[in-house]
Each structure stands twice: as structure tokens, then as C-alpha cells.
Copies of this chain bind each other. A is one copy, B any other.
Amino acid sequence: MQVEIILTVNEMEDQLLVGKTAVVIDTLRATSTIVTALYYGAKLVEPKAGIVEARNRGKELKEGTYLLCGERNGIKVEGFDLGNSPLEYQPQVVSGKTVILSTTNGTKTIQRAMLAHRVLIGSLLNRSITMEEAINLGKDLVLCCSGTQGHFSLEDFVTAGAMISYLKNKGIQIQGDDRVQTAWLLYERYADDLVELMSCSQNGSRLVNIGQKADIEFCAQLDFFPLLCYFDGERVYY
């Protein structure tokens, strides 16, 4: 299997996506939050790149059937129901609701990925089941790290490494460049220290500083939610 890692949304050129299985990764926290929301009973998640776009979509839906969710630079958008901490997405809050989600990095990456043959929403929380589906689909794989405001993100990269580790452990022959090798090697030596590792990142240290280290601990739980999440160009569903 040919595997590539895209480091930021800016690198997501058409020819890197077409015909492939794309897995979008925004570990802290958009894709972890999406997987959590769906596992806990949200009907759908609709990623929206812009805040206005998110509000307008809400106006099209019946009141009480949806939640407006998202952040800018880690802070909940004013007037929104929820921010971007997966810990907010409890069953009693999200069950049966459409989650309209707009985040700084992750939602842009998800929308950009739609040129791929199939788009999966990936995180540490649903690592193994997502890789099983990638194997089943039989296409080349592109792991799309969202990055942090256009820059390389440590936590997304090590999540890509966790995915590659799964494929290697299943005996899949991987053709990949030094990004793939580095992500894998990094994960191999930090698999037992993911919280410590992710706390060193720009996003992670910001969360620690604002008292939200619990988010990192939550998002680091490997295979906690064995849920396969697809994006069809408009909605994430399972």
C-alpha cells in the first residue's frame, strides 16, 4: 500500500487526493470531537469552514434538532452551544442532534479532502477501525494532518504514526517516504507516553495552560471509540 502524509491543509493538492482513501486527522481536537459526538449518539456532524456558514446552516434546521459548535483559536464561538472539547459532547447533550461544527483547522481539512475516493475521519480514538477500513478499501492511503494554523502539528503527526504502526503490525507492505517512516518511528517510542508527547505541542501546551489537559488525556485514548466515520462532502456519518 502506498501511504503519504500531508502535513498541513495547505499541502492538500488535488492530485494527492484523487482516487485515494483520505483520513483526516485533527487530534486536538476536531476529529476527536467528531468521533466522540457520533459515538455518543449525534445524528450527523456537518463540518463548516466558516462561522457564518455554520450559523446559516443552523437557520435551515428546526430549532432543538441541532447544536452550533466550534471554536476559533481554541475558544468557543460566541453564541454557539458547544466549543471544541470532546468532553462537552456527552450523550445527554448530543443524542439525536445534528452537530454543526466549525473549527480553526480541522473543518477546513475535512472539506478539502472531499476530492478523495473516500474520506474517513481519523483520530487516536478510532485508529484501528479506521485503518481496517483503509485496508478493506484497497486504495492508496493519504493521511491528511490538519496542522495548526498552516503549520506542522506534532499531535497530528504522531496520530498518523499510530495509523502506520497499525498497518505495519498487520503485515501490510507500505511504500512511503521519510515522513511516513518518521511518524511511525516517533509513535513507536512514544506509544506509552502520548499525553506527555502531545502536551509538548503548540496546541497541547496551550490546552495545558488554560487548564484543559483533560482534553489531551481524552484524545490520547487509543481505540476508545471503535467507530468508523465517513464524510460525504457535506456530512460526517457512521
Contacts and interface: CB of A to CB of B under 8 A. Distances in A.
A27 to B, nearest CB: 12
A178 B190 contact: no
A152 interface: yes
A185 interface: yes
A178 B206 CA distance: 12
12 contacts: A151-B178, A152-B177, A152-B178, A153-B178, A154-B181, A154-B182, A154-B185, A157-B178, A177-B202, A178-B201, A181-B202, A186-B186
Nearest to A189: B189
Give the interface size bracket for A toward B.
10 to 19
Counting every copy of the chain, the complex holds 2
A182 B202 contact: no
Q: Say whether chain A's binding surface is mostly helix, strand, loop, or mixed.
A: helix
A200 B186 contact: no
Interface of A: 148, 151-154, 157, 177-179, 181-182, 185-186, 189-190, 197, 200-202
